[in-house]
Amino acid sequence: MRTIIPAQAGLGQVQDKIDDLADNHKDNLWRVNKQIHGNPEPHYEEVQAHDNICGLLESLGYTVTPHAYGVSTAFQVDFGTGGGLVSYNAEYDALPCESDGYHHACGHNLIATSSIAAFLFTAGLIKDTGIQGRVRLLGTPAEESGGGKIDLIEAGAYRGVDASLMAHPSNDIESFDGISCPKTLAINSVKIKFHGKEAHAAASPWAGINALDAVVATYNNIAMLRQQLPLTERVHSIISNGGERPNIIPGLAEMELYARAATDAELETLCKRLEGCIHGGAQAAGCKVELTWDRAYKNLRNNETIARVFTDSMRAMGRTFQHKLEDNIGGSTDQGSVSLFKSVAAWLYLKICLLLGNVTHEIPGIHPMFVIPTPGGVTGPHTPGFAEAAGTYDSFLRALDVGKGLAIAGYQILADPQLRQQAWNEHANK
């Protein structure tokens, strides 16, 4: 039987209604979750995921804008009128496998599922209560690389949005079911080409300019710099082209490098230091160098006003969510040092990829991490074990619960103009 709940519903009534909605949509959500997980697609090529999600929403009576904002695998669906606007992001891009093809090693199928669920539940609550307010589901491709949300920000997808919500799966976080305000790192990457001069490596090596030497010198310069970097900064690189054959002095050699830091400003400083290492390497080998920087992913700015509602709703469901990691660092004992170290390690570890960071510099937003059951030995996202774990029914049920928590937070933002204002005030003061 359809229950109608009043506009000023208490949290208990909202939770009951969401449980009903979750029961109604569970089969559809499990199907779309399996479709996405079973057909992993790379960034900007998430055609099946796009079509499957749009198809589901259309079958439920929603008007969907496919290929939204000029991005072929983005989409948008809106519901409701007036009031505030809450938006959920559905990610669905996959990662390349070591062996062949692609797999959902970051579990973005679960991000899609929890956000679709949150949209359907919030829309259901708007219908039932008749409140003024709008909810949006954005299909946001190309998170792992490509910066899909940067395209969407620039195209105006978040203009007029009061809050952007999504959640990301993770492996074990110190025995909690999740964390509402993870700390994350800003990241940028650079492709580096060193141009030297080829020569016969035995007959006339002195006639060559060795581009591989520039790579090796750069790599070593960075290795030395690393000792002087703060704990919050990370640099990692690969040699993507070290030459053609041993008997040819390499005239071209290439590297790819990622740099991460706690804030945008710190990242900028780090990137300048790295450029010093790179130019030093080039100069030592006598090479010319060409740098192609990517678009930076900013650090995540958690909106604690919104996150608090999410934390409370997850806890009300019996899920042990940490609000933020500092909750875990109390007092000053020698045991405290151990706890601090573990927490710092955990949040650095959590930061694998979070393009929502850029969104949260524009508008209030949250990006909680939620734990999915992983078999022993899975070291975290971006591994084959995590790809497998992201496809299980147990992980789907975690995502479904997170979808409920996001919907409760989203609904509260729409139903309570004061909460909305508080979230904006916090955003303005950051």
The CB-of-349 to Zn ion minimum distance in angstroms stands at 12
Question: Which of 117/353 has CB closer to Zn ion?
Answer: 353
The CB-of-97 to Zn ion minimum distance in angstroms stands at 14
Alpha helices in 286-355 (DSSP H): 304-316, 334-350
CA-atom Rg of the chain in angstroms: 24
The residue among 329, 340, 405, 395 whose CA lies nearest residue 367 is 405
Alpha carbon distance 406, 410 (integer Å): 6
225-229: long-range contacts, CB 8 A cutoff, minimum separation 24: 225/273, 225/274, 225/277, 229/270
The CB-of-143 to Zn ion minimum distance in angstroms stands at 6
Catalog residues that contact Zn ion under the rule CB under 5 A.
106, 352-353
Alpha carbon distance 372, 390 (integer Å): 7
The CB-of-396 to Zn ion minimum distance in angstroms stands at 17
Alpha helices in 227-303 (DSSP H): 264-285
The CB-of-236 to Zn ion minimum distance in angstroms stands at 14
Partners of 178 in the β-ladder: 321, 370
The CB-of-409 to Zn ion minimum distance in angstroms stands at 20
**What is the full DSSP assignment across 35-65?**
HHHHS---TT--HHHHHHHHHHHHHTT--EE
163, 122 in Cβ contact below 8 A?
Answer: no
The CB-of-106 to Zn ion minimum distance in angstroms stands at 3
Question: Which of 126/165 has CB closer to Zn ion?
Answer: 165
Question: Which of 112/212 has CB closer to Zn ion?
Answer: 112
The CB-of-180 to Zn ion minimum distance in angstroms stands at 17
CA 305-309-313 angle, 5° bins:
165
CA 205-211-213 angle, 5° bins:
80
**Closest residue to Zn ion, based on beta-carbon distance:** 106
Question: Which of 93/128 has CB closer to Zn ion?
Answer: 93
The CB-of-37 to Zn ion minimum distance in angstroms stands at 14
The CB-of-146 to Zn ion minimum distance in angstroms stands at 12
Query: Measuring CA to CA, how many Å separate 43 from each of 71, 163, 294, 329?
Result: 11, 25, 15, 37
Question: Which of 66/380 has CB closer to Zn ion?
Answer: 380
Alpha helices in 60-187 (DSSP H): 108-129, 148-154
Question: Which of 89/129 has CB closer to Zn ion?
Answer: 89
Alpha carbon distance 262, 183 (integer Å): 8
Which residues have a Cβ under 8 Å from the Cβ of 307 and sit 6 or more positions away? 180, 181, 323, 324, 366, 368, 409
Alpha carbon distance 87, 64 (integer Å): 14
Question: Which of 106/123 has CB closer to Zn ion?
Answer: 106
Question: Which of 281/357 has CB closer to Zn ion?
Answer: 357
Question: Which of 111/125 has CB closer to Zn ion?
Answer: 111
In whole angstroms, what separates CA 42 from the centre of its chain?
15
Question: Which of 32/352 has CB closer to Zn ion?
Answer: 352
178, 319 in Cβ contact below 8 A?
Answer: yes
